[in-house]
Amino acid sequence: MTGSRPASPSRRAILKAGGVLAVAGLAGEARAAGYPERPIKVIVPFAPGGPTDIMARILGTHLGEALGGTIVVENRPGGGGNIGIGIAAHADADGYTLLITSSAYVVNPGLYAKIPYDPAKDFAPIAELGTSPNVILVNPKLGINSVADLVARARANPDELNYASPGLGTTPHLAGELFKIIGNIQITHVPFSGAGPAIQAILSGTTQVAFAALPPAHPHIESGALRALAVTGTHRWFDLPDVPTMIELGYKDFVSDTFQGFLAPANTPSPIVALLSTKSIAILKTPNISEQLRNDGFEVLANGPDGMRRRIADEVPKWRDIIAKAGIKPV
């Protein structure tokens, strides 16, 4: 006995469904065509002065001009980036609240028992903007001129030194903890609400050492206010030729960087996401802006949504594993 086949949709139903999709597509295009009609808010989940803030303000200025509108950068620090990311995740998905974040986005799922966002579901990636190596810094008054000097001082005086980082679970913090494990030393971690405050702490002598992303530290290294002992990238930075990598110093596979990513709340109309992506990538690839960012300590990536999506998928499990190996318990 032959089973009955499910009824096929009628031609009218197919045409009707197609019409609904077409209307939805046209509505999305219409929304993008008139966009933006008011200022766009870009949330940075860290204090002013850090690499993510620097990237957001440079990109925001030029993106506002390219869109014929205004970009307003709003710093919402706290919770290792969770507060600002959570605010953006639950904002209206209309293209008027966006997020520029750092590696904290992919680190926090392994660092905190509970976070206010799902990194895979709550955002629509716009672009992978750039990345920066982290750098080990000391105040020149400390009299430490190399990583070997730092290790020797820390071993001789276990309770003397402390180091600033942009916050719990940031890649500079994790680099600092990894350094302590590999170097068999004790340095007290002092977390701040972002790279800007962390840099100010070492400049003022509140801490003697800092692990930070390169961009906010770069001008102070050039001026001599801070001394860079090493960078944690795969190669020396182009205009800091005398600063070695940790790999060169014998710390095998010691690579740690901080990326910046651009995202919109999930369900933001795809034409708006596409427009923001296209404009942002074009800006980053403009020679004078690319050079400015490079001089500020960024390696420009300028990849679209797929690049950002791949980074999220790769780095959430990567950092969860590193956090576990470092013995850091989720908080």
Q: State what percent of residues in the chain have pLDDT above 70.
A: 90
Do residue 222 and residue 137 come from a single domain?
yes
Q: With 60 as the cut, is the pLDDT of residue 3 above it? A: no
Q: Would you state the pLDDT for residue 16? A: 45
Do residue 97 and residue 155 come from a single domain?
no
- Report if residue 102 sits inside a domain: yes
Range of the domain at 224: 133-231
Model confidence pLDDT, tens digit, residues 84-114? 999 999 999 999 999 999 999 999 999 999 9
11 three-class SS:
helix
We report the CATH number of the domain holding residue 211 as: 3.40.190.10
- Report if residue 94 sits inside a domain: yes
- Report if residue 11 sits inside a domain: no
85 three-class SS:
helix
- Report if residue 19 sits inside a domain: no
Q: pTM above 0.85?
A: no
- Report if residue 4 sits inside a domain: no
234 phi-psi bin (left φ>0, alpha ψ -120 to 50, beta other): alpha
Do residue 117 and residue 148 come from a single domain?
no
The whole-angstrom separation of Cα 97 and Cα 49 is: 21
We report the CATH number of the domain holding residue 51 as: 3.40.190.150
Model confidence pLDDT, tens digit, residues 42-81? 999 999 988 999 999 999 999 999 999 999 999 999 998 9
Q: Report how many domains make up the chain.
A: 2
Q: Are the CB atoms for 189 and 173 separated by under 8 Å?
A: yes
Q: How many CA atoms lie within 13 A of 257 on its CB side?
A: 19
Q: Would you state the pLDDT for residue 326? A: 79
Do residue 162 and residue 94 come from a single domain?
no
Tell me which residue of 92, 103, 182 sits closest to 136, measured CA to CA: 182
Q: Are the CB atoms for 119 and 105 separated by under 8 Å?
A: yes
- Report if residue 18 sits inside a domain: no
Do residue 226 and residue 139 come from a single domain?
yes
- Report if residue 106 sits inside a domain: yes
Q: With 50 as the cut, is the pLDDT of residue 224 above it? A: yes
Model confidence pLDDT, tens digit, residues 129-179? 999 999 999 999 999 999 999 999 999 999 899 999 998 888 999 999 989
Domain boundary (181, 215, 231) is at 231
Do residue 140 and residue 215 come from a single domain?
yes
What are the structure tokens assigned to 253, written together?
A: 């596979």
- Which residues have a Cβ under 8 Å from the Cβ of 140 and sit 6 or more positions away? 224, 225, 226, 227
Q: Would you state the pLDDT for residue 169? A: 85
What is the separation of C-alpha 88 from the centre of its chain, rounded to a whole number of angstroms? 15
Q: State what percent of residues in the chain have pLDDT above 90.
A: 77
Domain boundary (231, 246, 273) is at 231
Q: How many CA atoms lie within 13 A of 68 on its CB side?
A: 7
- Report if residue 245 sits inside a domain: no
The whole-angstrom separation of Cα 321 and Cα 111 is: 10
Do residue 125 and residue 265 come from a single domain?
yes
Do residue 117 and residue 45 come from a single domain?
yes
Cα maximum dimension of the chain: 91
Do residue 121 and residue 264 come from a single domain?
yes
